């Protein structure tokens, strides 16, 4: 499995009772695949992994894996603070048929780099499928240091890192220290898709592609073709959505936008509140903007 292209950091659809909505999940999966994404990444930050029980994670992963049906790789988030729990969940997801795992660094307790190295090594050794490291220091309080990533990249089934630090120089360091390994660096910051590709990243795990996958995919495709001016224009286009995403707690704005576009992904799980009417008005303006650019929504 080659890790590359635009992989959607998919939201987790809920019904109005805040239970996982299987039908909406299948709708969203098919929209994304039909739009040309290179993979589906579930149970990440925008997938509200931190608000979903392990039993729900398993049930949700079953639906996604079944619906995707090997059309694209499915990356499943299995990280947590407890190494034992992360190992058990990772093994379960492998059993279900996940193509790869994504493992966020432990959070809240802020472990040392040595402890993180041990944590990831134990998880990788417990499964046979690929493992993608997930670095998001803004929310975890810890940055995976390049030297740690260099050591982890030597482990056969640790194949990539999603870097959501928002720092291009951080990604560049990862690319340099893993140059001798079969290891992919992916941008986890949608604003840096094209800049990351230019310095050697293999692609991006992009939340904005829940709503505008065609635009995100075009950034990658234009870059591969060497059409950098078109790639830059597409990169700029996603800023219209990113500006409104800042008006609420993740992923409330994104889910409302997807819902208003025609796929009933429901609200974020409490305590995250739904956006108010003023913000909803701004979301509708964003949808109108993209509809004017012939982005096909389901509404």
Please tell me what DSSP assigns to residue 8.
E
Residues 6+ apart with CB under 8 A from 223: 194, 197, 198, 231
Task: State the DSSP H helix or E strand holding residue 205, giving kind and residue range, or none if neither.
Answer: strand 203-206
Greatest pairwise CA separation for the chain in angstroms? 52
Residue pair 54/79 in contact (Cβ under 8 Å)? The answer is no
Hey, CA dihedral for 157, 32, 168, 137, is it positive or negative?
negative
Is there a contact between 217 and 206 (Cβ–Cβ < 8 Å)? Answer: no
**Active-site residue among 75, 134, 222, 290?**
134
In 58-190, beta strands by DSSP E: 74-77, 100-104, 131-135, 158-163, 184-187
Task: Mark whether 176 is an active-site residue.
Answer: no
Cα separation, 236 vs 254, in Å, equals: 18
Task: Return the structure tokens found at 289.
Answer: 């903007």
Which H/E stretch holds residue 9? strand 5-9
Has 162 been annotated as catalytic? yes
Say which of 162, 173, 255, 256 is annotated catalytic.
162
Q: 205 to each of 34, 75, 221, 248, how far by Cα in Å?
A: 17, 10, 15, 21
H helices present in 35-192, as ranges: 54-68, 83-96, 113-126, 137-140, 146-152, 168-177
Rounded CA-CA distance 233/55 in Å is 42
**CA–CA separation, 293 and 122 (whole Å):** 47
β-pair partners for 74:
40
Catalytic center residues: 134, 162
């Amino acid at each position: 499995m080659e890790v590359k292209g635009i992989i959607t950091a998919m939201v987790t659809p809920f019904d109005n009772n805040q239970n996982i909505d299987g039908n909406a999940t299948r709708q969203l999966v098919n929209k994304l695949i039909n739009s040309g994404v290179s993979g589906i990444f579930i149970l990440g930050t925008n997938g509200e992994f931190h608000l979903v029980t392990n039993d729900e994670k398993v049930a949700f992963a079953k639906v996604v894996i079944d619906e995707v049906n090997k059309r694209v790789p499915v990356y499943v988030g299995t990280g947590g603070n407890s190494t034992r729990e992360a190992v058990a969940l990772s093994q379960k997801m492998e059993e279900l048929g996940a193509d790869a795992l994504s493992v966020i660094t432990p959070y809240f307790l802020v472990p040392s780099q040595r402890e993180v190295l041990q944590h990831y090594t134990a998880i990788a050794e417990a499964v046979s499928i690929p493992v993608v490291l997930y670095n998001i220091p803004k929310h975890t309080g810890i940055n995976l240091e390049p030297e740690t990533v260099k050591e982890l990249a030597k482990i056969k089934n640790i194949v990539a890192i999603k870097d959501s630090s928002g720092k291009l120089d951080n990604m560049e360091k990862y690319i340099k220290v893993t140059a001798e390994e079969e290891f992919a660096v992916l941008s986890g910051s949608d604003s840096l898709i094209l800049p990351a590709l230019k310095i050697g990243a293999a692609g991006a795990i992009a939340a904005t592609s829940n709503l505008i996958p065609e635009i995100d995919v075009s950034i990658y495709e234009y870059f591969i073709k060497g059409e950098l001016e078109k790639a830059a224009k597409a990169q700029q286009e996603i800023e219209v959505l990113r500006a409104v995403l800042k008006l609420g707690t993740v992923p409330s704005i994104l889910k409302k936008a997807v819902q208003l576009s025609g796929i009933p992904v429901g609200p974020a799980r409490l305590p995250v509140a739904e956006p108010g009417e003023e913000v909803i008005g701004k979301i509708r303006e964003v949808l109108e903007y993209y509809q004017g650019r012939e982005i096909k929504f389901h509404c």
